[in-house]
Structure formats: C-alpha cells, structure tokens
A and B are shown apart, each in its own frame.
Chain A
Amino acid sequence: MASASFDELIHASTRLNIVALLSAADWVDFAFVRDALQLSDSALSKQFAALESAGYIATERRLSDRRQRVRVRLTQTGRDAFDGHVAALRAIIDKADDQARSSAS
C-alpha cells in the first residue's frame, strides 16, 4: 500500500480527473482525455504541460492513419504520487470517521 502523501499538483480538480483516467490505462489518446473531460485542446495541453514538467506523465507522438496522434501515459513517478494522494484522501476520511465514532461512544 502506498504511503499517504497529499499532492497539491494532482489535487486540483482537472488534473485529478486527468491523472485518475491515466491511472487505469497503460496509455490514453489525447483526444479521449479531451472528450472525457470536455476540455479544449489548449486547456488540456496546459494541464499536461504542468504534469509533464513534474515528471508525472510522458507523451508520445505517433503517426496513425496519416494523422499525428498523441498518446499520454502516467510515469512511475506519477503513479506513485497518485497512489500516495489517494492514500492521503482516504486517511482524511478515516480520521474523520474515527472522530465521529469516538464522539458517538
């Protein structure tokens, strides 16, 4: 189990959704993420740039059907950060649940 580590970069709503999508896949096409999150190309590129500069994602350009396509994947660093962030979110909830239980008893 990953050690809890709250990650400010991932926690921002749009980036959280992006990283959550990527976490379930080996790679995802740029267009799939854009359509799933209903973002513009430029808005998504900006978020990718932030995640890429932190070393959380890697992009790869491929030629498919004479069109340039971009595949995005979570790096091991990004996966570790995401797992740590999920563990931190669970820890917040567990702590609140424990407090609620102890105040009820």
Chain B
Amino acid sequence: MSGDTSTTDARSALGAIENRRLQVIEQINVPSWYWIAVAACWLGLGVLSDNAPSWVTIAATFAFGCVHSAIAPRVLSGGEATSQLKVRSELTGRRIRITVLGFLVALVGVTIGLALVFQAVGASQPATLASAVVAALILIGGPFLVGAARRRIAANLRSGAGIPAA
C-alpha cells in the first residue's frame, strides 16, 4: 500500500528510476562506421573535384546524397547504435538528427571556403586539401557533437522528469 511507503522510500525509488532511464540514454549514439564512411566519401568527392570531369563529381555528389538520405533517418535517430536495445524515440527526439545534419551542412560551407583559400595560395589540389581537413573534422567533431546532444537529452530528462534528488 502506498500509505506504508515513506517519503524517503519514494524519493529513493524515483532516484533509482531516473538512474535506470539515464543508463538507457547513455546508449544513444551514432555508430563509428557512419563517421568513417562520411569522412571517406567527403575526401573522395574532394579528390574527384580536382581530378575528374565535373559531370563525374556532380554524379558522385548526387549518389552520395541519395545513399546518405536513405540511411540517415535510421542511423541518425541515435536509438539503434547498439544491438542490445532500442531507445524510445520520445527520448531521442530529433535532436541527434538535426545536430548531425546541421553539422554536415555547415561543413559544406567550410569545405568551399577552405578550397578557395587553398586555391588563392596556389595549392595544386585545393579541393582535396580542403576535403581532407573537413574529413578530419568529421571524424573528431561528429562523435563529440553526438556526445553533447546525448548529455542535453539526459539533462532534459532530469529536469523534465521532476524527480527530486534522493
């Protein structure tokens, strides 16, 4: 009966619930193969841009966009990074997807800007150099951004759950 449950017991139970839910949220992630594949494709497109006819670069960019949009909704939900569980979509929301896609869109601008800078200083392969720098940014910054988004989701759960400290 709830009448037999003390306030301390109730606080302790809510604390345990919050900890278990956070344990599931810790599993939110984007698999490392995604970052490696995106970085490799980015570099590949840079190399093509410097060395292949423009129609080849355009076709490859289009193919990359198609493949990415086919896999992104599932991979970027963040809830299926492990084979051990699937995090509820109400918890992950669209935060991971928006963060990663925003990051990639920003990197398109960074790539173009860097390529123009390398071209201005007389580099022979400006797009390749720019895309190599951005590929490194993807490998380092991608997991970092997802980690930040995961911490925000956990903070939202703590504040939204209204669970007092045990």
Q: Which one of B20, B79, B91 contacts A21 once the chains associate, using CB atoms below 8 Å?
A: B20
Query: Whole-angstrom distance from the CB of A65 to the nearest CB of chain B?
Result: 9
* Interface flags, A1-31, vs B, CB<8A=1, else 0: 0000010100101001100110111111101
Q: Which one of A8, A88, A90 contacts B162 once the chains associate, using CB atoms below 8 Å?
A: A90
Chain A residues with CB under 8 A of B16: 13, 16-17, 20
Q: How many residues of A contact B (CB 8 A)?
A: 27
Q: Is A44 an interface residue (CB 8 A)?
A: no
* Interface flags, B88-101, vs A, CB<8A=1, else 0: 11010000000000
* Interface flags, B152-166, vs A, CB<8A=1, else 0: 000000000010100
Q: Is B11 an interface residue (CB 8 A)?
A: yes
Q: Is B138 an interface residue (CB 8 A)?
A: no
Chain B residues with CB under 8 A of A86: 14, 17
Q: Is B24 an interface residue (CB 8 A)?
A: yes
Question: What separation, in Å, do the CA atoms of A93 and B10 have in the docked complex?
Answer: 7
Q: Is B67 an interface residue (CB 8 A)?
A: no
Question: What separation, in Å, do the CA atoms of A89 and B19 have in the docked complex?
Answer: 16
- Chain B, Cβ-Cβ closest to A25: B85
List B1-26 residues whose CB lies under 8 Å from chain A. Answer: 1-2, 5, 7, 10-11, 13-14, 16-21, 23-25
Chain B residues with CB under 8 A of A88: 2
Q: Which one of B7, B83, B88, B162 contacts A24 once the chains associate, using CB atoms below 8 Å?
A: B88
Query: Whole-angstrom distance from the CB of B131 to the nearest CB of chain A?
Result: 36
Question: What separation, in Å, do the CA atoms of A90 and B11 have in the docked complex?
Answer: 8
Q: Is A64 an interface residue (CB 8 A)?
A: yes
Chain A residues with CB under 8 A of B69: none
CB pair A89 B91 closer than 8 Å: no
Query: Whole-angstrom distance from the CB of A40 to the nearest CB of chain B?
Result: 18
A interface list, Cβ under 8 A from B: 6, 8, 11, 13, 16-17, 20-21, 23-29, 31-32, 36, 64, 86, 88-93, 96
Q: A26-B86, A86-B14, A91-B2 are in contact. List 8 more A-B contacts (CB 8 A).
A: A17-B20, A23-B21, A25-B85, A28-B85, A29-B85, A36-B23, A64-B83, A96-B7
